[in-house]
């Protein structure tokens, strides 16, 4: 089989172009990344949640987490606001209804699985990975335990095994990565929910569904899908009947993906690396020259004095 240059170029062109077309990332990926198109998501309708904590129990079971200190049937946990920790990747909190007479509102919390995760951008050993299926997953074999991911996470989700002396790990919701990547697989919490407060599916369809519910039920929901655009958007979306800041959500996070905040600084690094050596070595050369000139002037002066 022979191949001439023209053929080769043609084939190479097709291969490259085809590669670009097949690539799930748009060409201007570094400017704007709208997220993996086929990624999954989950929609939580807080108006449906009854606070039964079945999701917590299911999560505990599939992740082989230690048995809870307080049983999953015990409602006393609602007396204070909890956050996910190393023993529980998801927690349900209860908030009083601002409407007098309204029933309390239950809100499940877990990792939001951001489109552009702050934790992943913060990790100095790339222990976090954003998968095309949406899950942000963690590799404990790389983690050195600096806990910068926990500083960076705008939702304060990652937790640490502070009492583990030899193999401490960052713990957080995995979006049941192993389950959802199998055909028909659901996250354990969504499967366990008896009232279908959690809908699992393609994120693109879930945002549509969320807005359909808002428009179909005027007055029922606030006009916002939390998680759709917060910090660049994530895969977990929320609907609520009362403003989100009443339900423990941070509403001042903005829509800028967090990795953007350090991009400018990291971009300046090569500039410093390129300009500083020239500046510093230049200063060194100038100071050497100054010395040399001063020395010759000195000797000239001495010679003049000697000759006069």
Least Å distance between CB 28 and another protein? 18
**How many angstroms separate the CA atoms of 307 and 300, rounded?**
10
Least Å distance between CB 285 and another protein? 9
Site for another protein in 110-129 (CB under 8 A): 118, 120-127
Comparing CB distances to another protein, the nearer of 57 and 253 is 253
**Cα torsion angle, 64, 67, 73, 74, sign:** negative
Residue 296 binding another protein, by CB under 8 A? no
Residue 288 binding another protein, by CB under 8 A? yes
Site for another protein in 197-256 (CB under 8 A): 250, 252-254
Comparing CB distances to another protein, the nearer of 41 and 154 is 154
Residue 29 binding another protein, by CB under 8 A? no
User: Judged by CB under 8 A, which stretch of 67-75, 104-112, 235-243, 284-292 contacts another protein?
Assistant: 284-292
Could you give the count of Cα atoms lying within 13 Å of 87 in the half-sphere of its Cβ? 10
Phi, psi (5° rounding) for residue 129? -135, 135
Choose, by CB under 8 A, the member of 9, 18, 99, 162 that binds another protein.
162
**How many angstroms separate the CA atoms of 93 and 81, rounded?**
6
Choose, by CB under 8 A, the member of 27, 264, 304, 306 that binds another protein.
264
Residue 145 binding another protein, by CB under 8 A? yes
Q: What is the largest CA-CA distance in the chain?
A: 109
- Triad 261, 250, 58: Cα angle to 5°: 110
Least Å distance between CB 173 and another protein? 14
* Cβ neighbours, 10 Å, residue 133: 16
User: Judged by CB under 8 A, which stretch of 84-92, 99-107, 220-228, 234-242 contacts another protein?
Assistant: 84-92
* DSSP assignment of 8-28: HHHHHHHHHHHHHHH-SS-TT
Comparing CB distances to another protein, the nearer of 287 and 302 is 287
Tokens read off for 130: 């954003």
C-alpha 119 chain-centroid distance: 5
Residue 273 binding another protein, by CB under 8 A? yes
Q: Count of residues binding another protein (CB under 8 A)?
A: 61
E strand intervals along 49-168 = 91-95, 105-109, 128-130, 136-138, 159-160
Tell me which residue of 142, 132, 136, 129 sits closest to 110, measured CA to CA. 136
Comparing CB distances to another protein, the nearer of 61 and 291 is 291
Least Å distance between CB 232 and another protein? 13
Choose, by CB under 8 A, the member of 146, 185, 214, 229 that binds another protein.
146
Choose, by CB under 8 A, the member of 220, 277, 298, 303 that binds another protein.
277
* Cβ neighbours, 10 Å, residue 244: 20
User: Helical H runs in the chain?
Assistant: 5-22, 54-62, 118-122, 148-152, 177-180, 188-192, 203-216, 259-307
Comparing CB distances to another protein, the nearer of 12 and 266 is 266
Helices (H) and strands (E) in the chain, counts: 8, 9
Residue 152 binding another protein, by CB under 8 A? yes
Contact residues for another protein (CB under 8 A)? 83-86, 118, 120-127, 142-148, 150-152, 154, 156, 158-165, 167-169, 250, 252-254, 258-259, 261-262, 264-266, 269, 272-273, 276-277, 280-281, 283-284, 286-288, 290-291
């Amino acid at each position: 089989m022979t191949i001439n240059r023209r053929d080769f170029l043609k084939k190479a062109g097709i291969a490259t172009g085809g590669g670009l077309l097949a690539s799930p990332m748009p060409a201007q990926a570094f400017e704007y990344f709208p997220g993996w198109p086929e990624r999954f998501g989950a929609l939580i309708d807080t108006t449906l949640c009854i606070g039964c904590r079945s999701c917590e129990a299911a999560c505990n079971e599939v992740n082989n987490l230690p048995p809870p200190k307080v049983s999953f049937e015990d409602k006393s946990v609602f007396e204070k606001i909890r956050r996910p920790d190393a023993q529980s990747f998801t927690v349900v909190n209860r908030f009083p209804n601002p409407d007098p007479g309204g029933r309390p509102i239950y809100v499940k919390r877990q990792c939001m699985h951001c489109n552009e995760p702050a934790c992943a951008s913060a990790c100095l050993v790339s222990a976090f990975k954003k998968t095309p299926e949406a899950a942000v997953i963690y590799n404990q074999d790389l983690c050195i335990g600096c806990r910068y991911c926990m500083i960076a996470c705008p939702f304060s989700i990652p937790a640490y095994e502070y009492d583990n002396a030899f193999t401490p790990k960052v713990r957080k919701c995995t979006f049941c990565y192993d389950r959802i990547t199998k055909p028909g697989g659901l996250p354990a919490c969504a499967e366990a929910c008896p009232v279908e407060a959690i809908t699992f599916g393609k994120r693109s369809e879930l945002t549509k569904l969320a807005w359909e519910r808002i428009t179909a039920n005027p007055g029922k929901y606030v006009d916002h899908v939390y998680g759709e655009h917060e910090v660049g958007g994530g895969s977990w979306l929320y609907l609520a009947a009362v403003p989100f800041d009443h339900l423990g959500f941070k509403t001042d996070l903005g829509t800028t993906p967090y990795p953007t905040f350090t991009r400018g600084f990291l971009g300046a690094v090569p500039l410093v690396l390129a300009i500083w050596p020239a500046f510093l070595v230049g200063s060194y050369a100038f100071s050497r020259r100054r010395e040399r000139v001063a020395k010759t002037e000195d000797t000239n002066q001495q010679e003049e004095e000697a000759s006069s």
